[in-house]
Amino acid sequence: MEEILSTDVAEAEGFPAQDAEGVAVEEVVPKKKERKPINQQKLQDNLWGWIFCIPLLVGTIWFVYSAFIMALMLSFTNFEMVGAVTLGDVLANLGEYVYKPQSLGPDGLPIPGSGVADPLIWYKRVFQTTFTTPSGFELNEMGIYLFNTVFYMIGIPIGMILSMFFAVCMSRDIKGGNVFRVLYYIPCVASTISVVYTFKIMFNTSGVINQLFGSNLEWLNPASGMTWNKVTGGQSTSAFMADPFWCQGFISKLVIVIMSVWKGLGGTIILYVAGLSGVNAATKEAAEIDGANGWQIFWKVTMPDLYPTIFYNIVTSVIGGMQVYMEPVLLFGENYNTSGYVSLVYIYGLNKEARNVTGGNKNPSAGAAYGMILAIFIFVLTLFQFWLDSRKKD
């Protein structure tokens, strides 16, 4: 008790406190945190980085996210573009048509003054519009465009396998490897129009492809009425064998698949070559010492290290494949008659609905509905791919 009192007295008089043995006890005073000096070079680098990113951010927000929101709103309206339309007209009339779409007449066009409150009218039209083939097959119009689009995506796995093969060959230590990389990448640099017209010459009726095979197939003429009976020389009465929609459609779409594989091969090869350069050499050497052959090393060592590159190529190829438009239109033209259904794609249907080519008036709301459905398709496919990727990692 006396020791405690003496310690308190000592502290009160300004002397340092002492413990039971009379040794002075140092007071622990918390030190103030020192402010770190600002790294001017790092601050300047970050500032310049944001300056260079601002155009990309502004462009993405304005031309992607804002456009997506506006298209989503527009798909539930019945706004029409008749004649010259200014931005003021759109802003003045957009609110009037929200949730007040007009009913459609027999010609498929809105009836003026018929205010039927049906915000899903364009989505219903997408799923209800049908097309009848010459042999009587009744198909959904959107389904035909979607089928053609998915058919063109057959080139994705073909291109992946071929590019993987060429990338493995180019990654070996051979003379002239860089020359081959440049040669295979040239089609990626060439414009789409030049590639399309090159294939038009090659697959013409008197082109080099028919001369090589000794045939006279109408590869690029969807209106030729070619059937499987004509190609094979058969006399089948089957609707499938006698329907030009299936035969001509397959032959015409095959040209697009060949062209897309050839044009996209170089870019995929470069990505695979870069991925192969990051494969762990020590693991490959250990596998060789353990007696693994080249095929086993490729599947057990190379492929796991190359998986991120493969996954990236698949995701980006599927997204791009669902939005293909230029190649079929440039190769076959915009055929608004029944022959156009054998080769044209989903984006063509979107463009056709938005411009309403057959009716005359422009209906951007119908095109917006087509676009929203496509966005849902792409979103679901991408989620599915990421789900498969997560299962593989688990």
Query: Read out DSSP for 94-143?
Result: HHHHTT-PEEE-TTSSEEEEEE---TTHHHHHHHH-EEE-TTS-EEEHHH
Kindly report the pTM of this predicted structure.
Answer: 0.74
Tokens 């035969």 belong to which residue? 247
148 near 253, Cβ under 8 Å?
yes
Q: Where are the domains of the chain?
A: 1-33, 45-131, 133-393
Radius of gyration of the chain (CA): 33
Token pair of 84 as six digits: 């010259």
245 near 262, Cβ under 8 Å?
no
Q: Left if phi > 0, otherwise alpha if psi is -120 to 50, otherwise beta: which for 179? A: alpha
Length of the chain in terms of residues written: 394
User: If one looks up domain 133-393 in CATH, what number appears?
Assistant: 1.10.3720.10
Distance CA 1, CA 228 (A): 112
CA dihedral 40, 46, 51, 52 (to 10 degrees): 130
**Angle in degrees, CA 339, 345, 350, rounded to 5:** 105
Render each residue's pLDDT in the chain as its tens digit; 394 residues: 444 444 454 454 554 555 555 555 455 556 666 666 667 778 888 888 889 999 999 988 888 888 888 888 778 776 666 555 555 555 555 544 444 445 566 666 655 555 555 677 788 888 888 877 666 677 788 888 888 899 999 999 999 999 998 888 888 777 777 787 788 888 888 888 899 999 999 998 888 998 888 888 888 877 777 888 877 777 777 777 877 777 888 888 899 999 999 998 988 988 898 888 888 788 888 888 888 887 888 888 888 888 888 999 999 999 999 988 888 888 887 765 555 677 888 888 888 877 765 555 567 888 888 899 999 999 999 999 888 888 876 6
367 near 353, Cβ under 8 Å?
yes
